[in-house]
Amino acid sequence: MKIALAQLNYHIGNFSSNKDKIISAIKKSTKESVDLVVFAELAVSGYPPRDFLEFNDFILQCNKTVDEIAKYCTSTAAIVGLPTFNKNEKGKPLNNSAAFLYQGEVKKIINKTLLPNYDIFDEYRYFEPNNSFECINFKGRKIALSICEDLWNVQDNPLYTINPMDELAHHNPDLMINIAASPYNYHQTKVRKEVLKRNAKKYKLPLFYVNHVGAQTELLFDGGSLVLNSNSDIYDEMKYFEEDYRVYNIEDIQTKSVKHISPEYSEIESIHKALVMGVRNYFQKLGFTKAILGLSGGIDSAVTAAIAAEALGSDNVYNVLMPSRYSSSHSVDDSIELVNNYRMPHDIIEIEDAFNSFESSLKPYFKGLPFNIAEENLQARTRGVLLMALSNKFGYILLNTSNKSEAAVGYGTLYGDMNGGLSVLGDVYKTQVFELARFINKEKELIPENIITKPPSAELRPDQKDSDSLPDYDILDEVLYQYIEHRKGPKEIIAMGFDVKLVNRILKLVNTNEYKRYQTPPILRVSTKAFGMGRRMPIVAKYLS
């Protein structure tokens, strides 16, 4: 039996585009005499459709699209993911389903059993879990078909009381197929492989696994679809961060040596690839081509500009330098060197006149109080006004340049440097931003060395340094990582050797600045716990604040 895996970049709610991609792969499979071609979880709708699932029209269009796709499945069968109406009178209105298409029609529907409801996932909000188990009989073989999470209950700390594959194993299947939407984080590839290998080893069956690839707003899907033999060896590994299509003969998987293993990326290289893909897809799927950002001479805006240039093309990234009375000359010089290295368009707009005008207007109402954070933030908001005006005038998307360390402790100005349509580095700690800069410069110096080595500064008052307000980033990032990603409390973090006052101060800053993060743009997710849809914290709360 010949089985093809189609690893595609879908677009949520874009039924015509998703349908065309699927049909194109089916036609290709038919020409190559493939028996079965497999597509990802919720391929027809895109993943995650979220509250689009509450509209009957959306579900009807999904099902209509699958019926149209089925017409092309004559000699070649297909497995396609989609939401379907729950036919039972009780329970949630929908199922997360896989349709088996053959001989021009939908032959069988298999529903997902384990519905993740943690971090970024909220499938139980919409879907009813499956409670009946059967294999698909096709050309003399029994296929145990499952959907994403259904194979994940083999870890050391199982989340569910049932294991769908245990139930399917009672029917003596010949192979396993799993269609998935497994989002990227920089630990996920290793974990995903381990989970799939455990399944192949436990059930002693070959396993075909197909994943999404591409970005859906903040969620990034890295692809990396896999084929494993019954000895739990990886027979083939598809591309990461790219669409891919490959055909396999099931007999070869059991008898031949490894076909292809994708190169293993370092953590920082995979983050870089994920961010480039995230920016590119965000613009493509929204129908925009050009970005704008404020280039400060600091490392965050430099790395953001570099990623945007790779994602969109240098000509499509407009950099605006907005020096003030507190800006150092090297900040301007470093920024100009950067844009020249990339050949990106840029302009210099002095903010002194606008800032003076705001100061003059507010002077009677500031009541003679001394210069403080109000004037500092006024500079950032002046820059924000200018950037948003240019964005509106020319149809650019403003890229936010804040990093995760700053976002965590509130080191940013609402309606100023926290403006933007997309946050590129909002899930990247400051120490990782430095690593990204070094990675970008691995072959030649694109980001000027002075940007990487000089002490970080917001340059909103004389001789200001980030270290005036924040602990050293090496320490800050480790405390933040333990609290945010690992959810450790203050006592646990202090027990690791960190100073008591420092830990309490950092955690207080994180929790009291939730109101700021609530108003930030979507953040490209690269970690196991990003700010945004996967981290839901109350704003008005007292815990650790």
> How would you label 464-477 residue by residue, b for 16+ Cβ within 10 Å and e otherwise?
bebeeebbebeebb
Please answer whether residues 168 and 135 qualify as being in contact, where contact means their C-beta atoms are separated by less than 8 angstroms.
yes
Sign, CA dihedral 365-367-368-369, equals negative
C-alpha separations of 11 from 18, 49, 81 in Å: 7, 10, 14
Catalytic residue among 19, 21, 62, 112: 112
- List CB contacts of 145: < 8 A, sequence separation 6 or more: 79, 98, 100, 110, 135, 136, 176, 177, 178, 179
Backbone angles phi, psi at 209, to 5 degrees: -130, 125
- Any catalytic annotation for residue 259? no
Q: Considering only CA atoms, which of 137, 68, 141 is closest in space to residue 105?
A: 68
- List CB contacts of 144: < 8 A, sequence separation 6 or more: 135, 165, 168, 169, 171, 173, 175, 176, 177, 203, 205
Compute the residue count for the chain: 545
- Any catalytic annotation for residue 148? yes
Please answer whether residues 108 and 77 qualify as being in contact, where contact means their C-beta atoms are separated by less than 8 angstroms.
no
- Any catalytic annotation for residue 135? no
Vertex 242 angle, CA 407 and 196, to 5°: 85
Q: Where are the beta strands (DSSP E) in 94-174?
A: 94-102, 105-111, 136-138, 141-147
Please answer whether residues 248 and 263 qualify as being in contact, where contact means their C-beta atoms are separated by less than 8 angstroms.
no
Q: In the structure encoding, which two tokens stand for residue 158, read together? A: 């199982």
Catalytic residue among 21, 73, 148, 435: 148
Distance of CA 41 to the CA centre of its chain: 17
3-state DSSP call for residue 382? Answer: helix
End-to-end CA distance of the chain: 61
State the catalytic residues. Answer: 41, 112, 148
